[in-house]
C-alpha cells in the first residue's frame, strides 16, 4: 500500500508526487487526464504507482489515506471531492494544494467534516521547479490531521538556510489558503516595484538590457537578495529565439493575472486594510491592459540622470519591498482578528523564507522581527525596519521625484512612500472629510479632545 496519493499530475502535481517519492515515501498518482498518468508512469517503481481509475487510486492507499489534490482551483475541486467522498473512509485526510479561494476552503472544510473527512487547505508556492525540489507549504485546517501528514510535508518542503522546513501549521479552515493569497499579493507588489525600477533605469539612466541585468545580479548578492530580483537579471539577459534582440524588448507589456492578488484586495476592502502597494500593483496590471498606448514614449536627457541613480534605486527598491511585505503582514493581522485565527507571523515568514516566489533575505529579518515581538502592530515598529525606513526613505522620495520629472509612472514606489508618510502620521487631513460628511449628511464625527459622538449645525435650515 502507498503512503501518499496525488490527484492532478500537471505541472505541479507530477513534480510534487516525484518530490514525495524522492524523500522516501511511497506514492500513488492519478489524473482524469490519461496522458498525465502515462507521463508519471515513466518513473514507475515500487514507491511510485500510476493509477488510471478513481477506485484503483483510492484502494492503493494505506489508511488513514493521505491525498493531495493538485488541480485547477474552483469547480474542479468540488467535482473531485464529490468523486472521492463515496470512496473514502472516516478519518481519511484530503489536502487541497491548489490556489483555492479561502471562502471555498472554509465551505469545503465544513462539508468534509460532516462526512468525518479531515480537510486541509494548503497554499503551495515555488512553481514547477519548487514542486520538485522543495516548495513552500502553507497548510490550514484540521490541526490533528496536519500532525499526521507533517512528516511527509516537512520532508518535501524547501529548507531555510539554517535547515528549517518551509512548512508549519497556519491555523483553522481556510487560513492556509488565506496566507497563500497574501503571499501572492506581496508577489504582485514586489513584481510591480521591480518593473518600476527597471523603467527608471532604462528611461532615466539609459542603461542597456545587459547593463540592467548586471545591476540586478549585483543587487541579488547583497541585502536585496531575492528570487524575484535573481530572475529579473535572467529575464533581462535572455536573447530572443526569433530575432537578434533581447526577448524583453519583444514581450508585450500587458500583465495577466489568475486572480489571487485581486482576491487579496477584495478582502482588504472588507477588512479596511491599507495595503496601498499591493492595491496599486493589482491596478497596474489592469492599467497595462487598458492603456491606449498612443502618447510618445517618455524620454529624458542622459545628462540629467543623477550620478548615484543606481544606489538610490537600490535603497528605494529595498524600502518599497519592505512595505509590500509589511502590508501583507498588516492584512494578516487584521484577518486574524476578524476571522478569529491565531496566526504565528514568524512561522509564516519562515514558511516563505525558501522555496516560494517571494523568498528573500529580508524574510529572515521579518521572521526575527516577529520572533522578538509576536504582537508587532506594524512591521516598521520593529527596530530593524524602523532603521530601514529612516535610512532609505530619502532615496525613495528622490526616486519618486526623478520619475515624476521624467514622466515615468511609479504607482507602487509612490504608494510605498505615501504609506510610510501616512501610517504613523498624527496630522492626517481626514478631519476635513469628517467635517464635510457631517456638513452634507449629518454623519457625525469624533473629537480629538474629548470622547463621544458629535454633530454641528453647520447652517440654518431654510
Ligand X SMILES: O=C(CO)[C@H](O)[C@H](O)COP(=O)(O)O
Ligand Y SMILES: NC(=O)C1=CN([C@@H]2O[C@H](COP(=O)(O)OP(=O)(O)OC[C@H]3O[C@@H](n4cnc5c(N)ncnc54)[C@H](OP(=O)(O)O)[C@@H]3O)[C@@H](O)[C@H]2O)C=CC1
- Annotate each residue in 78-107 with x if it binds ligand Y (CB under 6 A) or - if it does not, as one string: -xx-----------------xx--------
CA torsion through residues 162, 167, 169, 171, sign: positive
Q: Which range of residues in 47-55, 75-83, 304-312, 434-442 is near ligand Y by CB under 6 A?
A: 75-83
Residue 187 a catalytic site member: yes
d(CA 151, CA 154): 5
Burial 86-95 (b: 16+ CB within 10 A, else e): eebeeebbbb
- Closer CB to ligand Y, residue 183 or residue 315? 183
Q: Which residues are annotated as a binding site for substrate?
A: 99, 125-127, 183-184, 188, 258, 285, 437, 443
Q: Name which of ligand X, ligand Y, none residue 79 binds, using a CB cut-off of 5 to 8 Å depending on partner kind.
A: ligand Y
Q: Which residue is nearest to ligand Y (CB)?
A: 98
20 near ligand Y (CB under 6 A): no
- Closer CB to ligand Y, residue 39 or residue 393? 39
Shortest CB 242 distance to ligand X, Å: 24
41 near ligand Y (CB under 6 A): no
Sheet of 118-125, strands arranged across: 48-51, 27-30, 4-7, 66-69, 93-96, 118-125, 136-141
Q: Which range of residues in 28-36, 308-316, 326-334, 443-451 is near ligand Y by CB under 6 A?
A: 28-36
Shortest CB 443 distance to ligand Y, Å: 43
**Phi, psi dihedral angles at 383 (to 5 degrees):** -50, -40
Cβ neighbours of residue 37 closer than 8 Å, sequence gap 6 or more: 9, 29, 30, 31, 50, 51, 52
Beta-bridge mates of residue 28: 5, 49
d(CA 19, CA 29): 12
Residue 147 a catalytic site member: no
Please give the residue ranges that form the binding site for ligand X (CB under 6 A). 99, 125, 127, 184, 187, 257-258, 260-261, 357
Look at residue 311 and give its three-state secondary structure.
helix
CA torsion through residues 92, 350, 412, 410, sign: negative
184 near ligand Y (CB under 6 A): no
Cβ neighbours of residue 437 closer than 8 Å, sequence gap 6 or more: 443, 445
Shortest CB 75 distance to ligand Y, Å: 7
Q: Which of 66, 180, 315, 389 is catalytic?
A: 180
280 near ligand Y (CB under 6 A): no
Q: Which of 36, 66, 187, 230 is catalytic?
A: 187
Contact predicate 88/5, CB 8 Å: no
Residue carrying C-alpha cell 493531495: 68
Residues lying near ligand Y in the complex (CB under 6 A) are found at 8-13, 31-33, 36, 70-73, 76, 79-80, 98-99, 124-125, 127
Could you give the residue numbers annotated as active site?
Answer: 180, 187
Amino acid at each position: 500500500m502507498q503512503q501518499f496519493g496525488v490527484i492532478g499530475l500537471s505541472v505541479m502535481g507530477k513534480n510534487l508526487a516525484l518530490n514525495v517519492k524522492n524523500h522516501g515515501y511511497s506514492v500513488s498518482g492519478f489524473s482524469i487526464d490519461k496522458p498525465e498518468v502515462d507521463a508519471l508512469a515513466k518513473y514507475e517503481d515500487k514507491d511510485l504507482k500510476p493509477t488510471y481509475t478513481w477506485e484503483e487510486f483510492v484502494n492503493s492507499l494505506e489508511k488513514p489515506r493521505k491525498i493531495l489534490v493538485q488541480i485547477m482551483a474552483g469547480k474542479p475541486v468540488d467535482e473531485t471531492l464529490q468523486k472521492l467522498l463515496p470512496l473514502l473512509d472516516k478519518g481519511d485526510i484530503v489536502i487541497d494544494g491548489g490556489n483555492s479561494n479561502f471562502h471555498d476552503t472554509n465551505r469545503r472544510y465544513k462539508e468534509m467534516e460532516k462526512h468525518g473527512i479531515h480537510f486541509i487547505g494548503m497554499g503551495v508556492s515555488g512553481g514547477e521547479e519548487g514542486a520538485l525540489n522543495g516548495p513552500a507549504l502553507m497548510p490550514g485546517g484540521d490541526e490533528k490531521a496536519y500532525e499526521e501528514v507533517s512528516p511527509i510535508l516537512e520532508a518535501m518542503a524547501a529548507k531555510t538556510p539554517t535547515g528549517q522546513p518551509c512548512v508549519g501549521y497556519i491555523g483553522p479552515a481556510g487560513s492556509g489558503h488565506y496566507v497563500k493569497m497574501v503571499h501572492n499579493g506581496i508577489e504582485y507588489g514586489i513584481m510591480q516595484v521591480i518593473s518600476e525600477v527597471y523603467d527608471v533605469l532604462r528611461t532615466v539612466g539609459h542603461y542597456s538590457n545587459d547593463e540592467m541585468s548586471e545591476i540586478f545580479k549585483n543587487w541579488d548578492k547583497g541585502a536585496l537578495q531575492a528570487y524575484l530580483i535573481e530572475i529579473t537579471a535572467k529575464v533581462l539577459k535572455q536573447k530572443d529565439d526569433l530575432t537578434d534582440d533581447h526577448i524583453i524588448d519583444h514581450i508585450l507589456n500587458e500583465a495577466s493575472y489568475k486572480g489571487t492578488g485581486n482576491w487579496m484586495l477584495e478582502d482588504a476592502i472588507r477588512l479596511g486594510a491599507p495595503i496601498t502597494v499591493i492595491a496599486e500593483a493589482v491596478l497596474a496590471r489592469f492599467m497595462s491592459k487598458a492603456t491606449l498606448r498612443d502618447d510618445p514614449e517618455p524620454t529624458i536627457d542622459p545628462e540629467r540622470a543623477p550620478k548615484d541613480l543606481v544606489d538610490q534605486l537600490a535603497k528605494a527598491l529595498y524600502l518599497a519591498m519592505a512595505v509590500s511585505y509589511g502590508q501583507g503582514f498588516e492584512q494578516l493581522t487584521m484577518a486574524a482578528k476578524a476571522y478569529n485565527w491565531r496566526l504565528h507571523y514568524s512561522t509564516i515568514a519562515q514558511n516563505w523564507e525558501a522555496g516560494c516566489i517571494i523568498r528573500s533575505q529580508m524574510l529572515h529579518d521579518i521572521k526575527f522581527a516577529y520572533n522578538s515581538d509576536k504582537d508587532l502592530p506594524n512591521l516598521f515598529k520593529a527596530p530593524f525596519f524602523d532603521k530601514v525606513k529612516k535610512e532609505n526613505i530619502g532615496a525613495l522620495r528622490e526616486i519618486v521625484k526623478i520619475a515624476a520629472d521624467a514622466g515615468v509612472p511609479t504607482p507602487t514606489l509612490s504608494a510605498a512612500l505615501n504609506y510610510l508618510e501616512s501610517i504613523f502620521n498624527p496630522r492626517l487631513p481626514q478631519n476635513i472629510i469628517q467635517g464635510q460628511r457631517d456638513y452634507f449628511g449629518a454623519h457625525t464625527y469624533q473629537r480629538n479632545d474629548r470622547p463621544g459622538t458629535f454633530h454641528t449645525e453647520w447652517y440654518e435650515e431654510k
